[in-house]
Chains A and B, each alone.
Chain A
Amino acid sequence: MKKFLIHIGCWFAALTITCVALNPLIDNGLRKMNNYSKSQMTIEELLSDTIHADIIIMGNSRALCSYDPIILDSILHTKSYNIGVSGQPFGISYLRYQLFRQHNESPRILIINIDNNDLEMYNSDFGREQYYPYFSNPFIRNYLSSLGFSWWDMHLPLYKYKGDYKLVGYSLLSLVGMHPLPYAQHIRGYYNGNTPFDISELRAELRKTDSFPTSVEPEAVELFAQFVQQQVHEGVQPVFVYAPQYELLRTHVQRDKCMQVYDSIAALYAIPILDYSAIEWSNDSAYFYNANHVNQRGAELFTISLVHDMDSLKL
């Protein structure tokens, strides 16, 4: 029995040492790779202390591809960053903003891209693996524990990487100086989508359904209201902006429910709402790469309009 226990103990110790040693190594490899997604700012970039922005744009993928910080800055003579996140509602945008704020001052202006799909906490496919190397960050750890991460994921060395052989492989390649994924294609967080707009997909969708309902989660509404209140309290000027949406889609989106929430919060803190959903060229597919997202031409036109409106509001 003694011999057996010693052998098991030795194996256990060897496994523990291996896990404890490999965990920071793989974390470092992934942080060094800094390339979870080519189309949006990574956690590593958000956590860096070099952003120092006057204007921050936050929201989902419609924020990501609609607001071009270079145009904003060239006209307003500011420094702006787009911290939008692809495919995720407010719960994840909030997390990204808090990460940005950990090492950076508050911006002067916060452009919050409001959307008919945004008043939710998170979608299940929120790219959980991009947070693995940052579990030592208390905010990330606490926030993610409510997004489906277990205690074991957070505290047991290497446990979070189980089954993710590709991620482990990427990390090891990155550690030896290789770059296994495509390089980032965003410019200060702005991603220009330039694929051709295939309108038939939207038409096919519309044959199946007459309208697109939106969901409003009370938890997300509460978090959103608290967040806006906090920004106002810190002296940040929030602006709610509804980015352009292709007309054929827009006319089928039921956005009244979420707009009521945005209107009431905006009224409470005297926040301007700029709605470009029905901008004059919204019926022209030449400015979109799909029904929800503008392409580079659309982004340029929209950003210029936004800058002028912000200027006229003296923001």
Chain B
Amino acid sequence: MLFNSVEFVFFLPIVFLIYWAIGYAKISETLRLRVQNAFVVIASYVFYGWWDWRFLLLIAFTSFCSWGSGILIDKSREFSVKRSIFWLWLNIAINIGILAVFKYYDFFTSEFCRLFGLSSDGLLIKIILPVGISFYTFQALSYSIDVYRGNIKPTKDIIAFFAYIAFFPQLVAGPIERATNLLPQFLRNRKFSYEQGADGMRQILWGLFKKIVIADNCALYVNQVWETYDTQSGSTLLLAAVLFAFQIYGDFSGYSDIAIGTAKLFGIKLMRNFNNPYFSRDIAEFWRRWHISLTTWFRDYVYIPLGGSRVGKWKIVRNTFVIFLVSGIWHGANWTFLAWGAYHALLFLPLILLGANRKYTNDEWKVESEKWKEILQMFVTFALVVIGWIIFRAETITQAWEYLCGMCQSSLWQLPSIPDTKRFLPVPLMLAVLVFFEWINRSRAHGLAIENYPRWARRTIYACILTFLFLFTNQPQTFIYFQF
């Protein structure tokens, strides 16, 4: 089920009402919690099964293995550390194994066969990729690693654990939650808070604006240009590349906003996934602000165990490349994602080697003293990110290279062509609305965190956004990150 579908408009209020009816039922607290969690599992499985019910078994299997491994890791630790390591690695092997089969097997097999001139006929399984598999697998992995590290006590409550893995707002495209944050929330009674609920609605509205108005409208232009990129002028290619940056941001951060906002309606606080990444002043800052849940996941479970930046220079280089390449391949089985990862590693490396990677760690922009310098830094960082997105969006490395070459033609100085003028008309205005709200609320939780505004102003803004949603909605596009 998509967040921007008619089905979800009915699904959400029904689930909300039943959930809180259970939450306020006059039964014992323990029973209430169990029934409420069981309902979350059922609702989440309906939400996921709407796409393809067969893959529910896979989620249930992943959940069960990780839940069981948590208990076994903890129990066996009393007898021997080796045994607990065994259970940890077994769970990692199962989860990564499932991911490898569904996501990477065909790609690596065909590439291996191509390299050695073998035929891959009969070796490929050609299975469809279950939606959200990378997200919930990582969430399951983080639990067993955290149990092994002693960061969290394993839970015996299987229903709460299943709810933690399958919680529908973030099941298919994140944020990739940590057990230390989300699981305890399923183990205690939730109370509805008006402020949290209202803020959730605001964040959902903002997420819908980003997805429906920004991403879907940009997608129309971007897709048209990419289909015929070899015949387009440099300026058209540049415009499409910039719009793709906004498309992917609107698409993914919009999804995250809807997910976080929806979770708030259920009394659950999810972690922030985006923090105004396009206002970053260098690439290191960009990666602290883009897909935060994945970046911190790799930092905590891959980068730091490898030694992080507290090792020799060569190991820092190795660790940086490992984390970016793994992050790239996480997005999909294609060389373009690896190249995208390598590109960002190359941008990141000078900063980390010069010790400048933590220069901008807060939300303070020097509005007065160094205003122009910071604006220039933001612009340069954005331009570098846009180049990365071209590699990311391309289907092959050759296509990315051709696109980049096409962009550097003399026709870069011409006016870009607009294939569908009617549809393109509102895009610049809506982008201005997006940038304006994100900038003025840059130190807040999301672009529409306007609870301190006067009531009339809030209502006017809501009405305007609802009008934009109505007037500028387009053919619904699938969320880009569903494929990952």
Contact = CB atoms under 8 A, between A and B. Distances in A.
B194 interface: yes
A4 B198 contact: yes
Interface stretch (B91-99, B325-333, B466-474): B466-474
Majority secondary structure of chain B interface residues (helix, strand, loop or mixed): helix
Contacts of B339: none
Contacts of B470: 158, 161-163
A8 B422 contact: no
Contact of A4 (B24, B192, B472, B473): B192
Contact of A1 (B192, B422, B466, B474): B192
Majority secondary structure of chain A interface residues (helix, strand, loop or mixed): helix
A8 B197 CA distance: 10
Contact of B198 (A7, A152, A164, A168): A7
B102 to A, nearest CB: 33
A61 to B, nearest CB: 22
Interface in B201-242: 201
Contact of B24 (A1, A8, A11): A1
Contacts, number: 30
Q: Which of B6, B462, B474 has the most CB of A within 10 A?
A: B6
B422 to A, nearest CB: 6
Contacts of A8: 201
Interface string A152-173: 1000001001111110100000
Interface residues of A, number: 16
B471 A3 contact: no
A163 B201 contact: no
Interface string B1-33: 000001000000000000010001000000000
A280 to B, nearest CB: 43
Given A1-B24, A1-B192, A4-B192, A163 B197 contact: no
Nearest to A19: B470
A3 B422 contact: no
B20 A1 contact: yes
Nearest to B200: A4
User: Which 6 residue pairs spanning A and B have beta carbons closest together?
Assistant: A165-B471, A163-B473, A4-B197, A1-B192, A162-B473, A4-B194
Contacts of B197: 4
A156 to B, nearest CB: 9
Interface string A173-209: 0000000000000000000000000000000000000
Given A7-B198, A152-B6, A163-B470, 16 more contacts: A1-B24, A1-B194, A4-B192, A4-B198, A8-B201, A15-B466, A158-B470, A162-B470, A162-B471, A162-B473, A163-B473, A163-B474, A164-B471, A165-B426, A166-B422, A168-B471
Contacts of A3: 194
Nearest to B216: A163
